[in-house]
Chain A
Amino acid sequence: MSTELKTLQYNANDIESFSKEQNEPQWLTDVRMRAYELVQTLPLPKTEKTRIIGWNFTDFNYKTQGREVTNLNDLPSEAAKVVGAEDQYAAILVQHNGHKAYHSVSKELQDKGVIITDLQTAIREHGDLVQKYYFKAGKVDKHRLSALNAALLNSGTFIYIPKNVVIEKPLQTVYFQDAENFGLINHSILVADQGSALTYVENYVSDHETIEGVANLLTEVYVEDNAQVKFGAVDYFSKDVTVYVNRQGRVGRYGQLEWAFGQMNDGNTVSENVTELIGEGAVSHTKAVSIGRGDQKQSFDNYIVHIGTNTESNILIHGVQKDQAKAIFNGRTKIEHGASKSNGDQTQRVLMLSEGARGDANPILLIDEDDVMAGHAASVGRIDPVQLYYLMSRGISRTEAERLIIHGFLEPVVEQLQIESVKAQLTAAIERKVR
């Protein structure tokens, strides 16, 4: 991997003064300054079979304006589309170009001591708690893009669910950007303390008409002992937004983390999803669907690390590749020495719709313990012309027949998603992408 560096248009002074302007505590300024040094020296991530040198990860404005609204109807329409009905959610937080735009939290959540707020506010009001989790599962020095996230942070969310608090309705955050050449450098932290349970949905949307930009997203999810988190995410950035997204989960004893991803970006994307099953009996299931189109290139890496005994993981990925789109789907299940009686399984399927589309599934099992179960399945195939003929023979146009086949191919994953709103959003996003 080359170390060729596109020079940042920001220097240490810019970052320091940006931090001061926001009255950040010294520890955070220190993280930024150290990270800025690392941006200069660390390499880009090593992506399998995907050449990301030359992608724009660094050229963007990190300061811009957002607009606060008092009514959800006043949000830009692209954002409003994904915001759930208010009575369906326990909390909704919308951020526009990195600034808080709308915030509503049910009285029940407030009474139970739940925190859900933008990161800047959380740092002011709950600084110690944020510091306790900030970059503990995620690593500043993982590579240049993680360092960049730490150095230029300009957006984020902090969620804390106290011990034994169980929330029925989901919490939602929506990040919407429509400023030209904006870099959304987002860091979100979700902590489900011992014995708590929640459902969380995050949405990333950019204006699909015009904008170019960069998104560098890091989400850390801490599932403490006996806690349960259903985490849904639908990413839908437009084609001129380059995306790096890292979702990092850490699960304690008998905790459970259910990931549900709709990876619908139209631009070049590097996605890393890492789950560490640390405590005995920790469980994580990952379900993801994606559609690649146009000439976008994407690298998806799903990495599960079994550390505790009796841990269980499952990865189920279905990806569709259209047009000239290229993608690699890496699935890595690692079972560490000592993680006996663990069980890791993964299935990745890729459907290619055109001659020019390319998709690779790369299942990897790394096992350092004897007393375990592990399995993988992968398939990559092109659309079946006879199937297409069959549908068309009933009067259905080629486009419509492809649409049916794509829906059908993704359905086994979509139907297993446990969050109804994510299901509905995904169905809508799929619909928009296959037309």
Chain B
Amino acid sequence: MPVPNLKIEDLHVSIEDKHIVKGFNLEINGGEIHAVMGPNGTGKSTLASALMGHPKYEVTQGKVTLDGKDLLDMEVDERARAGLFLAMQYPSEVSGVTNADFLRTAINARREEGNEIPLMKFIKQLDKRMDLLDMDQEFAQRYLNEGFSGGEKKRNEILQLMMLQPHFAILDEIDSGLDIDALKFVARGVNDMRSPDFGCLIITHYQRLLNYITPDKVHVMMQGRIVKSGGPELAEKLEAHGYDWIKEELGIEDETVEA
């Protein structure tokens, strides 16, 4: 299989006529993990939602390709089947649909009719991954995200990631609201996915998660675009010194997209 590739060029995104992402460029290849960091309100989550195709976000300019194919031309479900996955900051709750039924439906959506995943194989895979994430077996039979705590929802996102095995994952603030133990299990799940066939974009405020998942590249987002890039050492510097030095260096007064 060719090396997976996600290429974002001059991306602009608006929500309700508010221009949020303003000329974002990034290329990620299989085997790489990139982190996009930045203070609140700089457009990080908007970027993630727009790439997945959230109905409220409108791409006004730019181009995104996944393995050479035009991502923005696809419906949400087509993007997913093309290999993209977004671990969401606020996953929806779906009453009456069990986690297991949902996951099996999602897996079978990638397979030909008549070639559905055998039930026993599915259960084995699910059990193994729930163990790795330290999730109780009862989560399989609970309704999708209904009544889950913040931490349980995040683990459930990673469980989906592991079950669906996409080429590319975007993790949108997967670390927010997690205690240190939960964070370790989430990191374990992501690290388990690491391979030349898998690329990942981690969106976070904090360096904390990056202690457990070492990124290849770190980018700082301000005013809706990347303003600085570096290696893992950039994340450590941000942790130690905050963002102000970057603003000074670049002459930015207000880092938010409102500016």
Seen from chain A, the residues whose Cβ lies within 8 Å of a Cβ on chain B are 384-387, 389-398, 400-401, 404-405, 407-412
Contacts and interface: CB of A to CB of B under 8 A. Distances in A.
B160 A386 contact: no
A320 to B, nearest CB: 12
Contacts of A410: 96
A385 B109 contact: no
16 contacts: A386-B92, A389-B52, A389-B76, A390-B91, A392-B77, A393-B52, A393-B86, A394-B164, A395-B77, A395-B109, A395-B164, A397-B77, A408-B97, A408-B144, A411-B97, A412-B95
Contacts of B80: 392-396
Interface stretch (B20-28, B100-108, B114-122, B222-230): B100-108
A410 B94 CA distance: 12
Nearest to A387: B92
B199 interface: no
Contacts of B160: 394
Contacts of B85: 393-394
A409 B95 contact: yes
B124 to A, nearest CB: 20
A409 B92 contact: no
A389 to B, nearest CB: 6
A349 to B, nearest CB: 11
B94 A412 contact: no
A405 B164 contact: no
A384 B77 contact: no
Interface size class of B (residues with CB under 8 A): 20 to 34
A404 B102 contact: yes
A389 B55 contact: yes
Nearest to B81: A395
B185 interface: no
Interface in B64-86: 75-77, 79-81, 85-86
Contacts of B94: 387, 390-391, 404-405, 408
A271 to B, nearest CB: 24
A391 B86 CA distance: 11
Given A389-B53, A390-B88, A404-B105, A396 B95 contact: no
A397 B52 contact: no
Interface in B119-144: 143-144
B110 interface: yes
B97 A407 contact: yes
Contacts of A390: 88, 91-92, 94
Nearest to A384: B92
Contact of B96 (A392, A394, A395, A407): A407
Contact of B54 (A389, A407, A411): A389
Interface string B139-181: 0000110000000000000001000100000000000000000
Nearest to B79: A393
B100 to A, nearest CB: 12
Contacts, number: 84
Contacts of B91: 390
A395 B97 contact: no
Given A386-B56, A387-B94, 10 more contacts: A389-B76, A389-B92, A390-B94, A392-B80, A393-B79, A394-B80, A395-B164, A396-B109, A404-B97, A405-B94
A235 B164 CA distance: 39
Nearest to A405: B94
Contacts of A412: 95-96
A390 B80 CA distance: 11
A385 B93 CA distance: 12
B43 to A, nearest CB: 19
B77 A398 contact: yes
**Most B CB within 10 A of own CB, among A397, A405, A408, A412:** A408
A385 B77 contact: no
A384 B145 CA distance: 15
B109 A400 contact: yes
B102 A391 contact: yes
A384 B54 CA distance: 13
A397 B92 CA distance: 17
A392 B143 CA distance: 17
Contacts of B102: 391, 394, 404
B110 A395 contact: yes
B106 A394 contact: yes
A404 B109 CA distance: 13
Contact of B97 (A384, A397, A398, A405): A405
A28 to B, nearest CB: 47
Interface in B184-231: none
A395 B103 CA distance: 10
B96 A396 contact: no
Given A390-B92, A408-B94, A409-B96, A395 B106 contact: yes
Contacts of A394: 80, 85, 102, 106, 109, 160, 164
Contact of B106 (A387, A396, A408, A409): A396
Given A391-B94, A394-B160, A407-B96, A385 B55 contact: yes
B95 A393 contact: no
Contacts of B96: 407-412
A392 B81 CA distance: 10
Nearest to B86: A393
